């Protein structure tokens, strides 16, 4: 489980880099995919095995909510960029809701790694 949580941390950190590349025109990101919280590996775990095992856990519920909000924030950054609001998109990545949700995901993962229920 610890290995999965480490991967979850890395893959969600990588989303920021992908969004930066998208803003620079170096990568195409599908809006309909990035806004969904059930498509990435973590989302599949949340709505699959993780949900079955940890549905009543408070930290799991917080993680599930935060993860969904993270994906909505990521899609918002993409919309800002596509609307020509590049400065606003960059601001969201650096100090806006996206950045906050990224930190919240990291915090949830750290707490899950310390919780014996997630061993």
DSSP string computed for 15-55: HHHHHHHHHTTS----HHHHT-SSSSHHHHHHTTHHHHHHT
- Count Cα neighbours of 53 within 13 Å in the Cβ-side half-sphere: 10
Do the Cβ atoms of 2 and 117 come closer than 8 Å? no
- Answer yes or no: is pLDDT of 119 > 90: no
Owner of token pair 């806004």: 35
pLDDT in tens, 18-43: 999 999 999 999 999 999 999 999 99
Distance CA 41, CA 8 (A): 8
pTM of the complete model beyond 0.95: no
């Amino acid at each position: 489980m610890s290995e999965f949580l480490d991967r979850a941390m890395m893959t969600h950190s990588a989303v920021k880099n992908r969004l930066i590349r998208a803003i620079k025109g170096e990568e195409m990101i599908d809006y309909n995919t990035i806004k969904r919280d059930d498509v990435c590996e973590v989302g599949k775990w949340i709505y699959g095995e993780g949900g079955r095992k940890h549905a009543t856990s408070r930290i799991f519920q917080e993680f599930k909510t935060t993860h969904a909000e993270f994906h909505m924030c990521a899609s918002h950054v993409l919309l800002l960029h596509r609307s020509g609001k590049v400065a606003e998109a960059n601001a969201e990545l650096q100090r806006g809701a996206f950045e906050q949700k990224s930190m919240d995901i990291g915090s949830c993962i750290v707490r899950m790694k310390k919780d014996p229920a997630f061993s």
